[in-house]
Amino acid sequence: MKAISAIEIRNFLPHRAPMLMVDLITNISEDYVETTFCIPEDCIFIAKKRLAEAGLIENAAQTCAAIVAQNYFTPEKTDVKVIGFIGGIKKLIIKALPLANQTLVSKAKLISKMNTEDFTLCLIACEVFAENKLLLETQMNLFIKEQ
């Protein structure tokens, strides 16, 4: 696995503030990624000082997308525009909601991937933790396409 700087995450995702829900990729390989995200108090997904369910799901989706999006970038090809979205959620268990200012650690593993000339479709499992406590488990289908 290789560490990626916080700046490079923006190359892997089209999201920008206030929708960027990953601060840093800490480990990444062809089929696995770990990310961190410190939840700001002014996050658009904060409700009653906690990150709402939609925020947890968005963090998981952006973490998962990094696995597949990395294949669109090479040292020679850095100015790539990709679009991605959740095609479906196969499994979703939310056990708890984190507080503002907590740091999420999200871990995702690629289960399957189908590449075509026009797009990539994949199934990825993800777990999201705060202070070593499991908050979310999911399996989601992601659709990624170069624009």
Q: Which residues of 71-84 are buried (b: 16+ CB within 10 A; e: fewer)?
A: ebeeeeeeeeebeb
Query: Against a cut of 0.85, is the pTM above it?
Result: yes
Considering Cα of 56, then 60, then 65, then 66, what sign does the dihedral take? positive
> What 3-state DSSP class applies to 18?
coil
In angstroms, the CA 10 to CA 49 distance is 27
List Cα–Cα distances, 97 to 35, 53, 132, in angstroms.
18, 7, 13
User: Position of tokens 């290789």?
Assistant: 2
Q: What fold characterizes domain 6-146?
A: Thiol Ester Dehydrase; Chain A (3.10.129)
- Sequential pLDDT tens for the chain (147 residues): 444 444 356 566 666 676 789 988 888 899 999 999 999 999 999 999 999 999 999 999 999 988 887 766 665 666 667 777 899 999 999 999 999 999 999 999 999 999 898 888 999 999 999 999 999 999 999 998 877
Domain edges within the chain: 6-146
